[in-house]
Amino acid sequence: MTNKSDRTLPPWLLGWGNLPLAINGSVGIIAVPDLLASAHTPEVQIATVTSLYLATAFIGIPITPILDWRYARRSYAIVFTILCAIFTCASLLAVRNVSLLTIFLFLSGLSNVLVVNSVGGWFGNLLPTEQKDSLGAWFTIANFSGGGVAAAFSIFAMRHLPAPWGAIATAALVLLVLPLYLSTPCPRADGKLASESFQAFSTDVIAMFRRKEVQWILAIFLAPAASFALTNTLSGFGHDFHTSDEMVGLIGGAGVAIAGVCGSLVVPQIAKRMSPVTIYLLVGLVGATFTVSLLPQAHDAITFGIAIMGENLFQAAAFSAANAITLRTIGHDNPLAATQYGVLLGATQIPLTYMQVLDGNAYHVVGLVGTLLTDAGVSGLACLILGTLYWQFGRKIATI
pTM of the model: 0.80
Question: Which residues 6+ apart lie within 8 Å of 117 measured at CB?
Answer: 60, 64, 67, 338, 339, 341, 342, 345, 346
CB atoms within 10 A of CB 42: 11
First-last CA distance in the chain: 34
Kindly give the parts of the chain with pLDDT less than 70: 1-7, 43, 67-71, 189-202, 204, 235-236, 245-246, 248-249, 252-253, 394-400
E-strand stretches of 203-285: none
Distance between CA atoms of residues 87 and 92, nearest Å: 9
Distance between CA atoms of residues 312 and 335, nearest Å: 34
Which helix (H) or strand (E) covers residue 175, if one does? Answer: none
What pLDDT, on the 0 to 100 scale, is given for residue 77? 92
Report whether the peptide linkage leading into residue 20 is cis, meaning its omega lies within 30 degrees of zero. no
What pLDDT, on the 0 to 100 scale, is given for residue 113? 92
Backbone CA torsion sign across 48, 250, 177, 323: negative
What pLDDT, on the 0 to 100 scale, is given for residue 398? 53
